[in-house]
Amino acid sequence: MDEQSRDGGLRVRLSRGGQALRMAWESAPATAGAWIAVIGLVSVLPLAVAWVGKAIVDAVVAGALQSALTWVVVELLLMALLGASQRGAGVLRSLLGIRLALFINLKILRKALTLELLQFQDPEFYDRLTRARREASSRPLLLAAELLGLISAVVTLLGFIALLLSFSPLAVLVLIAAAFPAALAELRFSREAFDMRNRRATEARKLSYYEYVLASDEHAKEVMMLGLGPTLLGRYEAVGERLFREERSLSLRRTLWVTLLAQIGTLSFYACYLLIVWRAVRGELGLGDMTLYVIAFRQGQMSFQSILLGLGSLHEHELYMSNLLGFLTAPPARAVRALPPAPTTPEPPAERGIRFENVGFRYPGRDDFALRNINLTIPAGQTLALVGPNGAGKTTFIKLLTGLYEPTEGRVLLDGIDLQSLPQDELRRRLSVVFQDFNQYQLSARENVGYGDPPHIGDRARIERAVDEGGAGPVIDSLPAGLETQLGRWFPGGVDLSGGQWQRVALARAFMRIDADVLVLDEPTAALDIDAEAEVFERVRALSAGRTLLLISHRFANVRLADRIVVLEKSGVVEAGTHASLMVEDGLYAAMFRKQAKGYA
């Protein structure tokens, strides 16, 4: 957060309030307009009620019964209108809050769609996202309401000041000055509360994580079998108690100081009250004037305290809003970089395939490279298997190929075009990927397959073909409602699938994108037995004719079906060739193949 946001004065806070009010207006113009109008009415009605109260007392003193009754009826109508306006403002605020919450969350989610994969893998980013989402749906409305309440209180206060100046300008100044100490304390504690909650973003996220692990079907089996429940519950309770103690300490200190300092305002009011009574007893004020001034002093002081305390709340809400606005305006992680100069010898315009040119990648904040010195060409239409020991960077290679990561050095080209200069939509259209940790959408089977190509999710024939090509036909046929069956256990009527069944659904999803000329399978069949995996690989290879197919698998018996096998290590490509040629070379691939073959013997 920038220093202006942290230490900015009233102008910055009012500006943030204006932004929140603008968001409320954009989310529901008619509702926001009606809300503002009703709040304006609520701000002037107390002035009218106070003046009518004076008129009633004056009429009673003068013995004018008809006039007194008339003014009582007028006050009754004003109070009814005030009550109806306050209730109406509450209803409008509630409706606007629902609409604004949706509006803000849509903004956050749209922003999330523009982010890079590395941002989602960065703990600091998650803290920023947590701070942005935490109360983001409620804070803008609270800030807008606080700003309107502030304006309303100012209008009311100015009206009462106009009445009171005729009594004693000095008394007005005393009442105003007496309200400052409590308001300043409120401002200080608002700042402290914000800093504390910002500082605890990681702890709050950890608390949510423990809760998720303890109460989700994804983790239930292992938590039960390992007896992790009491351990994780103890950690959850410890973190929760620590957060509670910090919150309680701040709340107690805040309440104590603000309450004590607020007594200064109370004492000053009663001093002015005594002055009014004294002047009324001496005959310097009529009973009607005394009533008006007492009400005006009390309401005026309350309005001024509301303004100062509102500034404190405005400050706290503005600080949270700065988190939200900072997140929404943050630039993407991927900086625009100058593309390397074109090679001296022009590349043939008809180049087809994928080319890695001296590619290296390291994660932000790390000195060591996850992958380096990658020089590899994959001709269009070739089936290539990528193998290597754990941690060799195979999945990182896939993320570089798919544009999810940007190379730290070198470049990746598709048909001679640097991926960094290729529009993301175009790149995504040309790739179809099944990741090792593919998603299991808690939605219908039709959506689980159709999401492979969202524009065609309504094309049932295309979905059915993808199901058949992905080998998921028997899975879908076994479901009670076929493609319309709800998958997963999150929602009523859901049917959970085995790991192998989920993988076949994921493969079907990959075959939805029939225009893709590059198919990437990152351990797509880990939950299948070796025979089922062989059947899937044979099917995929046959259906991928004419496409570039990239396979990652730890099962070497099926890897040997590829046109070419590349052995990868962090230092680069160490071996490449067919299964037969690599076995003759008797290098790393041959050693890994024989070692695995022994396990199946």
pTM over 0.75: no
How far apart CA 186 and CA 138 sit, in angstroms, is: 21
The pLDDT of residue 478? 92
* Residue at 210 is within a domain: no
- Does residue 220 lie in a domain region? no
Mark whether 416 and 293 lie in a shared domain. Answer: no
Q: Which residues on neighbouring strands pair with residue 432, listed in sequence order?
A: 519
What's residue 81's pLDDT? 92
pLDDT at 52: 85
Measured CA to CA in angstroms, residue 365 lies from 569, 570, 596 at distances of: 22, 18, 36
In a domain, 435, yes or no: yes
Q: Indicate the residue type of 158.
A: L
Residues of the chain with pLDDT under 70: 1-14, 126, 131, 134-137, 216-222, 224-226, 301, 304-305, 308-316, 318-319, 332-350, 524-534, 599-601
Residue 416 and residue 368 share a domain: yes
Domain stop point among 329, 364, 390:
329
- Which structural domain, as residue segments, surrounds residue 591? 353-600
**Residues paired with 564 in a beta bridge:** 384
Rounded CA separation 448/440 (Å) = 8
Given phi > 0 = left and psi -120 to 50 = alpha, else beta, which region is 388?
left
Predicted pLDDT of residue 77: 92
Looking up residue 473, the CATH number of its domain turns out to be 3.40.50.300
247 and 290, same domain (yes or no): yes
Give residue 428's pLDDT.
Answer: 84
Q: Are residues 274 and 358 in the same domain?
A: no
Same domain assignment for residues 311 and 419? no
Count of domains for the chain? 2
Are 112 and 168 in a shared domain?
yes
Same-domain status, 312 and 359: no
Q: Which of 287, 314, 329 is the last residue of a domain?
A: 329
- Residue recorded with tokens 């956050």: 108
Same domain, 306 and 370: no
Identify the CATH number of the domain in which residue 285 sits.
1.20.1560.10
- Within this chain, do residues 316 and 358 fall inside the same structural domain, yes or no? no
Instruction: Tell whether 407 and 274 lie within a shared domain.
Output: no
Does residue 475 sit in the same domain as residue 532? yes
The model's pLDDT over 557-571, given as tens digits with 9 standing for 90+, comes to: 778 778 899 888 878
Amino acid at 263: Q
Q: What is the pLDDT of residue 222?
A: 66
Are residues 153 and 295 both part of a single domain?
yes
Residue 573 lies in a domain: yes
Which tens digits make up the pLDDT trace of 497-527? 888 888 889 888 888 888 888 888 887 666 5
